[in-house]
Structure 1
Amino acid sequence: MRYRIFVVSEASLEKSAGRVGLRSVAGPNSAVDRVTAEIRRGVLNGTLKAGSSFSIADLSVQLGVSHIPVREALRRLETQGLITLRPGRSAIVNPLDRDELRSIYRLRKLIECDLAARACIGLTPADLDEAERLLKAFTHYELDADESWEIHKQFHLALLRPALTEWDLRLLEQLWHACDRYTRVVYETYQIDREERRRREIAHRLLIDAARTGSPAELKLAVNEHLAEHELACLEWMAALPPTS
């Protein structure tokens, strides 16, 4: 099974010029949590373009908070590999990099395939029913991008949960955060029509079918192939981008 690749120019990823298009943050969660989520959203959806720089002062004004939660949020995002803090109260969105992508997927394959094999024998009918429910929500319902990706993450966690430790989850979250800005840009360029929904359903149903066999080797292989397909789609998308000056 091959993924369809859409050529997306760098210009099409830039949502605005000058000021970055972030929303004011307000709500019951801590200011740092809200700021982290909003800046991360901007990086993942291309509002904060890869390679672009911005000042902490400008972000503070747009988000409606002081510079303290902004700086702390940027520190968190730096540990996720999304941005780099620079001297002088500024930061840069880390450029997309093929070697980084390959490294992320190399580690994901090592960790997720091992977890899948160990989780397989512990999966219950209830776990598989939950995976089915999440798959239906992910592929059949009209959701915004953030909701869709959250359900997608929960689907994969459902198949790994019997083997997950707190440290496994921490490592997965780190890798998924780093990977998201590649995969989300690629897959959100697809036209989500009936054919595309069906393709996504088949790709993920293969994982459930492998889990239902009760064979650790079968599920491990299915997860490895699933990740390899994603990696290839991202690399082909990056190769199709016009060279940057």
Structure 2
Amino acid sequence: MQNRKGLFITIDGIDGCGKSSQVRKLAADLKEKALKKPDSAEQREIILTKEPGGTKAGKIFRDLLISSEYDLDPITELLLYCADRREHQNKVVIPETERENIVICDRFIMSTYAYQIFGRRLDSGILEYLTARTINRMPDLSIIIDVDIDTAVARARKRLERDFRMHQEGKFEQMPGQFFERVREGFLWYADNHKDTVIIDGNRSFNDVNKDIMRQVDKIL
């Protein structure tokens, strides 16, 4: 870890890509790396967070957004995601990076483009307008884990069968395959059109994906 500064790293991808497990593994790897240098001036706290739901208010937004109980209008969804992101920026991302910590976030703006703009087919101009007014700190590195749709859908639905609560709340996991095709297209589009964003092949083993993530993260440490 050569640069004494805060970092903001995001990991994203379609449901079933394995991103949440990789987020936790990355945090554990960075903590282990720091322990090997106990006297180093480069020590930084690792902050593990997520969108939506990374703040007290965000947990309320998350309950509204992911539950199948609420039949939210797609634009209402978009507004709630942006409200959650604004709170998260002000309460977590900006304060922690200003303290020179490393913030690792499970989902960010890429998901909103993928799910709301491509998946829900909303006008991208709405999100661009809101993003300009809600985000003050963009990631230093955004990682998108890309998997084929059949694999992702199978993983997501297996998770639903395993967890009753997710079966009740897993609104997006229950969408048809065509929806996920559009969502995947949205993630690939985002990577092609935004700097500091890389795509990692998630169809491989967990350890191979983790190694690729660490290689990318090491470049900015």
TM-score (norm 1): 0.24
Q: Kindly indicate which of the two structures has a greater share of residues assigned to strand.
A: 2
Q: Which has the higher contact order (CA 8 A, sep 6+)?
A: 2
Q: Kindly indicate which of the two structures has a greater share of residues assigned to helix.
A: 1
